[in-house]
Structure 1
Amino acid sequence: MIKQLIESAFLAYRSPNRTHYACNQTVGSNLDAVRYYLEQAIDLNPKQTDLRLTLANMYSFQGDSEQALAIYYDCFTQTPQKDKRIVSLCYLIVWYHYLSEHKRVDDHLAYLSQISPPEARQVKQLLQTIEHILAKPINYVQTAPSQRVGTKMVCPASSCLEDTEPQHKAIIILGNKLNDDGTIPPMLLERLKAALTVINASPEQRIFVTGGLAQGGVTEAVAMQQWLIANQVAADRITLEYKATNTLDNAAFTLAQLQHQNIEHAYLVSASIHVHRCEIIFAATQLHQQFKKQQAHTLPRLIHFDHFAANDGLSPHHSPEGKVRLDCYIDALRSFGLPAFCTKQITLA
């Protein structure tokens, strides 16, 4: 019975129907349904920490930090398993950081340092990464000299690409769902135009196009490659990543290609409301991989990430606020190896 409830919760979580999901003779959001099924499962096994952590994640995803933190804290104080207490502490620290409750962050980090110094160092580095990226204004691509227009910081591509040898730099263009016939939609076209400005400013720089969702038999990566070639970009500059179906996979799969080609500095090109999330996902994924490889003593060089945003008018702010900032923290945790679903039966980001 518990397994069936978890599977129902997972199906609801993965559903594209985010706002009109039928559950328990009512219609609500898919995350409401996830919570319903998880609460039913917890009633059957109230001591299963993984279920309660997953429920707390759903509350945090919906912006109910108070309820989420209460559950994380219960998990931390009530589970006898050290590994579960560490995970609970990690969630507590990151979400208190989201709320800017720095005293609680410091107190919980100090306790984590006592019971697991390596994890404490990793979480501290993650928080530093989040702070660094969220402090950046959106960097819109501009062909004119660097200037501030309203709340937007615009930067000429040429001036932003001078710090690293060209052969060790890369531009990564994030995909977007194609039209049903496999053609490029307006949002992705704006992204490609922004990327082309950067590409033309640094003709020796490597280009990575990432996205595996297909429409009309064409993946996002292939569609972007074809557009770039049609706009006089040399085909041998372009590397395709055509397996990823979400931004977390974009990061995991593309990082391997970047490391193989000895890239030191990469610029992510995406929508204005997405660039900070992208940067956090790539940086946090890299940190997570780095920590795992430390244990195996096979450390690659860390890649530095920056971004360029399409001037698409989607972001009303110059830095992440509201739901966009919330999503940055959610994605930071998921990229760092702390998934949405923490259950033993189903552990998926």
Structure 2
Amino acid sequence: MKRTLLTLSLAVIFSGSLYSTNVDAALDTVQPQVDYTEMTSQRQVVDQLLNDAYQVFKNPSRISHAGFTAKMPSNMEMITNRLLEAYQLEPYRVDLLFSAANAQIYNSNVDRAIELFTQILSVAPDDVDAHSYLVIWQNFKGNKSEVTRHLTALEQLNKGRVADLKKIMSTIDRIVETPLSNTIKKQGKGKNAIITLGYALNPDGSMNPILIDRLNATLDMAKKNPNSYIVVTGGVPKNHKTEGKLMTDWLVKNGIDASRIIEDNYARSTVENALYSSYALARHNIDHATIISSASHVRRGQALFEVASWQTGPKGITFDTYSANDRPLEELKVPTDKELLGIYRDALRVYGMWSYRSYPLEQR
């Protein structure tokens, strides 16, 4: 009798009455073909749904431009559906709602994400992370009264979180209001560094022209600032090569002393660029660093390095940027909503709020 009831409940969930399956039908080449009603326990079904979400997340379909790499929106919709189907069976698993909401952030559907974060508060009205996400995304939407409401709630729960969120928002405001620059500058007194962010290699392991453009700027700045350390960061391998290693080889070949170069071959994203390289800045007690990346990417890079440095130090470090010309700077004078979304999203990840928190789909 118990299995019969479970089968009936699953049949209702997967009949499409709760969630649209149009996206699934269009993309069933990347979804496992599983008959959930043949499973014998609720735990099995939930585990399978989460595994399905994870497999879709790992699907190689990606988009990339000027350093921005993210899963295809259709993948995100499928992930959201699987997570919400699991939540119907486990209504106390608010981790599933957090993961689904953040999948919608990656899908650029902030309104849907806000609905899901709000749903978490209907289960756990004092959840600090849910209030925190709502502060950031209501701020992104320009809903100041909602920002105030959630900050007020957080004041009673975690005053430190309130201070951190205000600092994140003010930092991003300052960065996006600062004009982009493609001028090679002489750095000031103290210990300085140049940080060059990697860009996805070609399938054969060669460097994309966008990355070479960043390296040319790095070379010019390194010559103008001969005492500065140079941090090269990027670790997504292609044909057994990484961005960090190829960038180092290129700079050495073009006359830069290898002893100046700090090489990161592990970072797989801008978030990890900031998290990993911030420790190099701390170890060498850097006072100021210039971040070199494409114009459409460099503001995100600066925001993430600033947030990362709050946790690692060195205390008082400052950053500026050089914008390689992937697009005319005048076109990028005002950041698009898509760029701002990426900045806010990844700043929260660097801060320590994991996007996905439902095993096996876990990612900072």
Tell me which interval the TM-score lies in, with the shorter structure as reference length. Answer: 0.7 to 0.9
1:336 aligns with 2:364: no
Aligned AA for 2:342? D
CA distance in 2 between partners of 1:278 and 1:302 (Å): 18
C-alpha displacement of 1:14: 3.4
CA distance in 2, matches of 1:266, 1:28: 34
Contact 1:18–1:30, Cα closer than 8 Å, also in 2 = no
Seen in structure 2, the aligned counterparts of structure 1 residues 281 and 50 have a Cα distance that, compared at 3 Å, is same
Matched, 1:243 2:269: no
Letter in 1 for 2:198: G
* Separation in 2, partners of 1:69, 1:87: 13
User: Which one of the candidate residues 63, 74, 80 is aligned to 2:108?
Assistant: 63
Q: Distance in 2 between matches of 1:18 and 1:32?
A: 14
Quick check: 1:252 aligned with 2:297? no
- 1:301-338 Cα deviation digits (max 9, x unpaired): 24322211112227632232131121111111211111
Task: Label 1:215 to 1:62 Cα distance change in 2 as closer, same or farther (>3 A).
Answer: closer
Given the alignment of the two structures, is residue 281 of structure 1 paired with residue 304 of structure 2, yes or no?
yes
Q: Out of 12, 17, 20, which is 2:61 matched to?
A: 17
Secondary structure in structure 2 of the residue aligned to 1:233: coil
SS of the aligned residue for 1:157 comes to coil
Calculate the aligned-residue CA RMSD, in Å: 2.1
Does residue 1:134 correspond to 2:134, yes or no? no
Distance 1:41 1:32 in 2: 14
Aligned to 1:152: none
| Residue among 203, 217, 220 paired with 2:243 | 220
Distance 1:16 1:345, change over 3 A: closer
Contact 2:235 / 2:243 at 8 angstroms: preserved in 1? Answer: yes
TM-score normalized by the length of structure 1: 0.83
- The one-letter amino acid paired with 2:143 is E
User: Which amino acid in the other structure matches residue 323 of structure 1?
Assistant: K
Spell out the pairing of 1:1-349 with structure 2 (5 A cutoff). 1-18=45-62, 29-79=74-124, 82=126, 85-140=127-182, 155-158=183-186, 161-162=187-188, 164-165=189-190, 168-287=191-310, 289=311, 300-313=314-327, 316-343=331-358, 346-349=361-364
User: Would you say the 8 A contact 2:114–2:137 is kept in 1?
Assistant: yes
Per-residue CA deviation, residues 110-145 of structure 1 (Å, 9 max, x unaligned), is 2211121111111111112121212222222xxxxx
CA radius of gyration, larger in: 2
- State how far apart, in whole Å, the 1-side matches of 2:323 and 2:51 are: 38
* C-alpha distance in structure 2 between counterparts of 1:94 and 1:284, whole Å: 15
| Amino acid in structure 1 at the alignment position of 2:174 | H
The structure-2 alpha-carbon separation of the partners of 1:262 and 1:111, relative to structure 1 and needing over 3 Å to count, comes to: same
For 1:312 and 1:176, how far apart are their aligned partners in 2? 12
Please tell me the residue identity of whatever aligns with 1:172. Answer: I
Deviation for aligned residue 1:179? 2.9
Distance 1:238 1:69 in 2: 43
Aligned equivalents of 2:196, 2:109: Cα separation in 1: 33
CA contact (8 A) 1:112 1:120 kept: yes
Equivalent position SS for 1:333: helix
Matches of 1:121 and 1:191, distance apart in 2: 35
Contact preservation (8 Å) 1:171, 1:199 = yes
CA distance in 2, matches of 1:115, 1:214: 43
Residues 271 and 314 of structure 1 are in contact (CA less than 8 Å); yes or no, is this contact kept in structure 2?
Answer: no
CA contact (8 A) 2:287 2:314 kept: no
1:104 partner amino acid: E
Query: How high is the sequence identity, in percent, across the aligned residues?
Result: 29
Give the direction of change, closer, same or farther, for the CA distance of 1:76–1:280 in structure 2 (3 Å limit). same
Q: Which segments of 5 or more consecutive residues in structure 2 lack a partner in the other structure?
A: 1-44, 64-71
- 8 Å contact from structure 2 (residues 184, 217) kept in 1: no
Aligned length: 311
Q: Which structure 1 residue ranges, 5 or more long, are not aligned?
A: 20-26, 141-154, 291-298
Q: Name the amino acid aligned to 2:315.
A: R
Tell me how far 1:300 sits from its aligned partner: 4.6
